[in-house]
């Protein structure tokens, strides 16, 4: 909802007069535009918020598809590197709205439908609360299921398999 608001500012004069200056400002209901200026929010900000909100939930093993997770694992092995919080999250951010796509790996045994609902609720709540943007949609793609015994890291702790042929 857009509404027009009349505001007035005091302009400080050299004689201390309280001269008033009127300005017409469009208030957009998000708090991102007001009489003093406009706030823009970058895509990466929304994707990080959505990534963190998704990772907070039990049942989410990892974000991103196979290639993104492989690159993330390589990046994690570099000393001093940080986890990419927006991995597996893509967003489209407008002036008042945001649309979010999330790609993830779920833990085996969790209800994927319930997990998707919880992710949508958590992401929408976090993004709208922190940015003031209206989230129009949260699309979730579950690309794999993680089993308890599966390891993403190739550890050298397992004994080498015996060769079957010479």
Please give the Cα distance from 45 to 111 (Å, whole number): 29
71-98 per-position pLDDT tens digit: 556 555 667 666 678 889 999 999 899 9
Q: What is the pLDDT along the chain (166 residues), one digit of tens a residue?
A: 444 444 444 444 444 444 333 334 444 567 788 888 989 999 999 999 999 999 999 999 999 876 555 555 655 566 766 667 888 999 999 989 999 999 999 999 999 999 999 999 999 999 999 999 999 999 999 999 999 877 654 444 445 566 667 6
User: Is there a contact between 70 and 59 (Cβ–Cβ < 8 Å)?
Assistant: no
Angle CA(154)–CA(160)–CA(163) in degrees, nearest 5? 130
| Strand ranges for the chain from DSSP E | 3-12, 18-27, 33-34, 37-38, 60-63, 89-93, 97-107, 134-146
Both structure tokens of 128: 């709208």
Question: Which domains does the chain possess?
Answer: 1-39 (no CATH), 40-146 (3.30.70.1350)
Please give the Cα distance from 77 to 92 (Å, whole number): 30
Angle CA(128)–CA(129)–CA(135) in degrees, nearest 5? 5
Both structure tokens of 34: 């007001």
User: Is there a contact between 35 and 23 (Cβ–Cβ < 8 Å)?
Assistant: yes
Q: Is 55 helix (H, G, I), strand (E, B) or coil?
A: helix
């Amino acid at each position: 909802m857009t509404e027009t608001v009349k505001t007035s500012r005091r302009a400080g004069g050299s004689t201390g007069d309280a001269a008033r200056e009127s300005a017409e400002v469009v208030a957009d209901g998000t708090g991102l535009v007001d009489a003093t200026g406009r706030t823009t929010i970058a895509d990466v900000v929304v994707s990080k918020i959505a990534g963190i909100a998704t990772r907070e939930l039990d049942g989410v093993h990892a974000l991103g598809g196979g290639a993104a997770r492989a690159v993330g694992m390589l990046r994690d092995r570099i000393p001093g590197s940080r986890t990419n919080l927006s991995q597996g999250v893509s967003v489209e951010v407008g002036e008042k709205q945001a649309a979010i796509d999330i790609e993830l790996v779920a833990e085996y045994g969790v209800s994927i439908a319930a997990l998707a609902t919880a992710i949508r609720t958590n992401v929408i709540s976090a993004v709208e609360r922190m940015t003031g943007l209206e989230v129009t949609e949260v699309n979730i793609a579950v690309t794999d299921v993680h089993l308890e015994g599966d390891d993403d890291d190739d550890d050298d702790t397992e004994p080498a398999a015996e060769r079957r042929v010479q």
